[in-house]
Structure 1
Amino acid sequence: MTFVTRFAPSPTGRLHKGHAFSALTAWTAAHEAGGRFILRIEDIDPTRCRPEFEAAILEDLGWLGLDWAQPVRRQSAHLADYAAVVADLEARGLLYRCFRTRKEILDAIGDAPHGPAEAVRPGPHPAGEEVRLLAEGRAFAWRLSLERARESLGEAAWNALSFREEGVGPAGESGLIRARPETAGDVVLARKDAGSAYHVAVTHDDALQGVSHVVRGEDLFEATHIQVLIQTLMGWPTPVYRHHRLLTGEDGRRFAKRDNAVTLAQLRADGVTPEALRAELGF
């Protein structure tokens, strides 16, 4: 089996050291295995993704000395592919419309007698209410029904959901791990006005591009559980996962765009060389 992995940033800001560490980890793994390194631009959110940030990603990764297979897949050019996945799951009765707002769901969590874990599965609206809300033109999300997915797979297949972790999860998880999609609840897979969600696009593209190993930060470890379920429902292979530690600053907090982490562009402007940064990151 050819080793294929990917780095899949969203162009919502400039790359920082944490991105560099993740990209170098995946790129190094691919080269050490004699495999392929893919760059994918995950830009399905039109409200936050911008072309100038995509151009900056290419510039920053090139400055770091990375190369990647061509062409680069931009998810915004393939929305119909993801919509087809959602349509397939909906036709099989595995999705339901949810008209509840985020506030309504949070309020329900607070009122739930058995705690938050049970409240993240709001379930379908009564038939009459759904017809009324549709007639009113209310916005809705398509949620994956874990109950229906479990019935569709059967108990044996549901209990066999698993993935192999070659890295280490946030709680030290490694080896063969039983997938627990119930921890994610009935996740949103699409919205009426915003197309497909992350879980659909990422699993579709990993299967399409033949990704054999997903190398990414441990902050995405929990997402693996629901992604394994989607892969199984769609008949796609489950890659091997290799989650890595998150890079943190002097304050112990992980680098993040929202915290205005120092960007690679700023480091470059300050005279930092790619060789120096790679050495600092352990490469």
Structure 2
Amino acid sequence: MQSRYVGRFAPSPTGLLHMGSLMAAVASFLEAQRSNGLWLLRIEDLDPPREVAGASASFLSILSRFGFVWDGDVLYQSRRSERYAEVLAELLKNGQVYRCQCTRKVLLADGLRGIDGFRYVGRCRDSFLPDNGQVAYRLKVPDMEIDFLDGIQGFVRQNLQQELGDFVLRRADGFWAYQLAVVIDDADSGVTHIVRGADLLDSTPRQRYLQSVLAFSHPEYMHIPVISNAQGEKFSKQTLAPTLREGDEVQQLWDALYLLWQNPPAELRRADLAELWAWAKTHWHSGLIPPKRSVAVTLGQNFEYKFL
């Protein structure tokens, strides 16, 4: 018997929500609504040095202001350290994880480019280093292809060893890596479908491999194109993307639907939120979204987004 659809939205408080965030929230929410499923909210507050003060609290108020309703309690990754440590200890015991003392300088010196920066060559794989408080923990990956079918991007294939190398599950500074936390949290929350930006597409094969190692089930994936400027830079916190504006929720929701290729009627720009959401829930169709990793847009003086 197929389990009930469980989706999620999982923003990181390293900045405030912007249009790209709203697009991911809208797409994941409407996919869950279309399937009569659950939609969970998780705050991925794993990196305190990069957090923006008050961002986590603002997420809840902003999402509520836009009319989002999530199921159950909000999950905060910062409160899950014991669970992550439990899983890491088991992987270490089974010989699937090892300690690594290689610095970024060492990786730069090796000079092997990979799909996610520099590829790790496994220098510490057989070193059996003690935990002196300054080591990272890496997962051993095989020289084999990991593939899956994405609901928007199509067939994806990646050789973890040749394109990435053994990857980090806990950083040398003691903070948990995104790859470990997201896999554990999705499994523990019963997430069956993940809808998120295509900037995370290259992370998916390593997450699927870790799911296999931990005997977790594989969720279905759907990666929406991210929006970028004319120079090809992703609209993000790092590129100073405009944050979502209070009091202009209808226009911004309309823009998000437009940028998701849903072709909302122009007259709905002047509707109320309930009417716009009713239209979106009735007409949502992910098949309209093209298999692109990014799409260039321009932002007008009246904060209206247009495709370039």
Same-fold call, TM > 0.5? yes
Aligned partner of 2:210 in structure 1 is: 230
| Shift in alpha-carbon separation, 1:102–1:66, aligned structure 2, 3 A | same
Q: 1:198 aligns with which of 178, 200, 204?
A: 178
* Alpha carbons 2:137, 2:171 under 8 Å: kept: yes
Deviation of residue 248 (structure 1)? 2.8
Which of 78, 81, 94 aligns to 1:79? It is 81
User: Mapping of 1:81-120 within 5 angstroms?
Assistant: 81-109=83-111, 115-117=112-114, 119-120=119-120
Quote the Cα distance in structure 2 between the aligned partners of 1:208 and 1:138. Answer: 28
| 2:121 is aligned with 1:121 | yes
Partner secondary structure for residue 51 of structure 2: coil
Deviation at 1:25, TM superposition (A): 0.7
- Aligned counterpart, 2:151: 166
2:253 equivalent in structure 1: 278
Deviation, 1:45, is 1.2
Residue 238 of structure 2 aligns to a residue whose secondary structure is helix
Task: Indicate the structure with greater helix content.
Answer: 1
Structure 2 unaligned residues grouped into runs of 5+: 258-279, 281-308
1:55 deviates by 0.8
1:69 aligns with one of 63, 71, 82: 71
Q: Which amino acid is 1:274 matched to?
A: E
Contact 2:66 2:249 in 1 (8 A): yes
In 1, Cα distance between equivalents of 2:151 and 2:119: 32
SS in structure 2 of the partner of residue 31 of structure 1: helix
Residues 133 and 174, structure 2, Cα contact 8 Å, conserved in 1: no
Deviation per residue, 1:208-264 (Å, 9 max, x gap): 111111101111001011011100000000100001011234655321101211101
- Identify which range, 237-246 or 97-106, moves more after superposition: 97-106
CA, structure 1 residues 195+40, in 2 after alignment: closer, same or farther (shift >3 Å)? same
Range with bigger deviation, 190-199 or 210-219: 190-199
TM-score, normalised to structure 2's length? 0.75
How many pairs were matched up?
A: 252
Match of residue 142 from structure 1: 137
Secondary structure, aligned partner of 1:221: helix
Write the deviation string for residues 98-135 of structure 1: whole angstroms up to 9, x where unpaired.
111101111112xxxxx53595223326649x46xx6x
Identity of aligned residues (%): 33
Partner AA of 1:181 in structure 2? L
Deviation at 1:180, TM superposition (A): 3.1
Counterpart residue type for residue 116 of structure 1: R
Question: What is the SS of the residue equivalent to 2:196?
Answer: strand
1:192 CA displacement: 4.6
Residue identity opposite 2:63 in structure 1? L
Give the Cα separation in 2 of the matches to 1:37 and 1:93. 36
Unaligned 5+ runs, structure 1: 110-114, 151-157, 169-173
Q: Which amino acid aligns with 2:250?
A: E
CA RMSD of aligned residues (A): 2.3
- Distance in 1 between residues matched to 2:93 and 2:170, nearest whole Å: 14
Give the match's secondary structure for 2:42. Answer: strand
Question: Are the equivalent residues in 2 in contact too, given 1:21–1:247 (CA < 8 A)?
Answer: no
Identify if the C-alpha distance between structure 1 residues 192 and 252 changes in structure 2 by more than 3 Å, giving closer, same or farther: closer
Which of 30, 37, 40 is the aligned partner of 2:39? 37
Letter in 2 for 1:200: L
Q: Which residue of 2 aligns with 1:22?
A: 24
